[in-house]
Structure 1
């Protein structure tokens, strides 16, 4: 039984992937999870082979806006204070990589780096790029991407095994950092449930039973396509409603701007209850824009969540989702360049007579291939054989 320290830069309640990693690795190993403190009892989420240790972030202006890694200055002392010779340090995403490399050297552990995205490319989302605030926003973006890009390039040389979530990100990292044999562990759902009828959304919104529901679930942020669909809705057939489930920094703005009798923002739902809402929709929509290279190569969790609920999918031409949708025929790819093209496509898709079959194709693919039980075997073998 090996000892693994899993490092996370946010509360565990907000990261389903890391929660699944911890649960799966603890089946045959002892896992200590170090995550950001909240009022929730994180240990209640896990079984006997998992211990949870919380830490507080060191927040000030420079740590928030430039030296991200210094937010975690309290973490090394907490890990080292356990006096455990860990076999593995499991680092989730770039902000914790510097801390993880330092711990690797002090403990003598092997370092696994699980990069869920191209973090350096996402920095342009953190700062203003319009209005008067662009005066400091753009310089900070440039400085951060230059500094952290060079820092990541040096730090990954100390990584024993790198993991990411899809083939496009794997190829990007291998080429950019001259790496080989990056392991892909896709962020697929766990414990796929049997399909059953649900009316959760219609009941909550008091909608008629024959109302058709187009669902978006996920973060309500820039480049997620929520605003594009909302602006197309006046051109969409009146019996179709657009429902948005999720939180994010654009939720209030979009809710104030777009809420109507046919556009509904339900806010963030507890992960364990989310499937009930997904099951009550008719179609799931996925229009993430290639806002940066990380988004361009993304494989969004919501793709698999729609599939696991047997919902046909409307997607744009984003590389990874389009590849899977074409491979298993579980949805329709559309032109999302204008509100007219989006509305026309939505109307046409809802008129199709093969929606049930498209949804079933996605569900069967999740049952047999795109599920966590299949994906995590690669991670378990990595830990067992090293």
Structure 2
């Protein structure tokens, strides 16, 4: 059986695309990844037994033209041809399109080559666009391209023209059925980790010093400014700056703003903003930390997806500190793996941080999260659902 995974960004590297590709390859599928080529890498390459086919190199063109060639929109003829080229021998096989923008390119090609089409809805784009506009001011062009209403119409049509949809979480499945997707053609394949990701080492909690970690993109929606303000309030409440250490790892548009906020609040000794780190360094930080932060701003986007970080925190045996994002709150309440704080309230977060100074509390929450990963929220369970959906 052959499978073509269509990914609108450069590859490598994306953890979900890699996990899907490897899972299918290890279960007997001949897998190709068709991806963008903004970085102008060589067009064809084999990575971990996966054939990676990138869009044509266009280094001889002006930068604007290069971006235009790679722009991921369904009517881009370069994308349609590239997907077709890697799918023409797929009769009876599968095309998996990661994310909404290129779904209709997949619809066109799937009909031409008589393949089945799976839409991997890793993000709910209409909700993501609406939430981004709520908390930031997009440019005129960005407002046109990332229009929530247009994205919603396109998504609704897409869901009716694919053979199967993969969603990240139960809430996303409910949302998809409400806008017309047949419930029997939706499968939950989440962002859960491999059980051996951190060598199976369960964190042992001791002492009162908090070592908080966040790994991911640095955007307004992630609420990292709120976490930094909470650190300031925590210190104002009588705790020493040595009682807390926050490590923020990642890149994004908010990085400089977060650095400036730390300086304004005089918490630079307690908050370190690293930028992007190698995976080995991230794993080391995870093992050294004793709390995982998810102080996201509650919005429609987060209420219909799930970050892989919650499962990484649980696997590492560290408690999750989170705002009441619907799927995150549900998992925390179900498993007892963390503490919920009030949305966008640094004063409440500071009080919750004080509770987490108790190592017995952290140990209990961490063990419950780890046990839930062993029993339910692990990638092997999601592989089983993925293979069933593809078959």
Same fold (TM over 0.5): yes
2:232 match: 234
Deviates more, 1:293-302 or 1:155-164: 293-302
What SS does the corresponding residue of 1:5 show, helix, strand or coil?
strand
What SS does the corresponding residue of 2:156 show, helix, strand or coil?
helix
Q: Which has the higher contact order (CA 8 A, sep 6+)?
A: 2
Instruction: Tell me the C-alpha RMSD between the 2 structures.
Output: 2.9
Shift of 1:85: 2.5
What SS does the corresponding residue of 2:220 show, helix, strand or coil?
coil
**Aligned partner (choices 342, 364, 375) of residue 371 of structure 2:** 364
1:165–1:184: 8 Å Cα contact kept in structure 2?
A: yes
Q: Unaligned stretches of 5+ in structure 2?
A: none
Q: Quick one: structure 1 residues 108 and 39, their matched pair in 2 at CA, closer, same or farther if it must change by over 3 Å?
A: same
2:172 match: 169
1:262 match: 270
1:188–1:375: 8 Å Cα contact kept in structure 2?
A: yes
> Does residue 146 of structure 2 align to residue 160 of structure 1?
no
Q: Distance in 1 between matches of 2:245 and 2:389?
A: 46
Deviates more, 1:274-283 or 1:328-337: 328-337
2:290 match: 282
Q: Distance in 2 between matches of 1:91 and 1:351?
A: 46
Q: Distance in 2 between matches of 1:197 and 1:301?
A: 18
Q: Number of paired residues?
A: 364
Q: Distance in 2 between matches of 1:360 and 1:336?
A: 25
Shift of 1:139: 5.8
Shift of 1:80: 2.7
Q: Distance in 2 between matches of 1:290 and 1:356?
A: 27
> Does residue 330 of structure 2 align to residue 323 of structure 1?
yes
Shift of 1:223: 1.6
2:114 match: 108
1:343 match: 350
> Does residue 87 of structure 2 align to residue 85 of structure 1?
no
2:107–2:117: 8 Å Cα contact kept in structure 1?
A: yes
What SS does the corresponding residue of 1:195 show, helix, strand or coil?
coil
Q: Quick one: structure 1 residues 337 and 127, their matched pair in 2 at CA, closer, same or farther if it must change by over 3 Å?
A: closer
1:127–1:137: 8 Å Cα contact kept in structure 2?
A: no
Q: Distance in 1 between matches of 2:200 and 2:29?
A: 30
**Aligned partner (choices 187, 193, 200) of residue 191 of structure 2:** 187
1:330–1:359: 8 Å Cα contact kept in structure 2?
A: yes
Q: TM-score, normalised by structure 1?
A: 0.85
2:147 match: 144
Shift of 1:285: 1.3
Shift of 1:31: 0.6
Q: Distance in 2 between matches of 1:43 and 1:367?
A: 35
1:36–1:57: 8 Å Cα contact kept in structure 2?
A: no
Q: Give a deviation string over 1:16-44, Cα, whole Å, max 9, x none.
A: 11110000001111011111223668956
Shift of 1:150: 1.7
Q: TM-score, normalised by structure 2?
A: 0.84
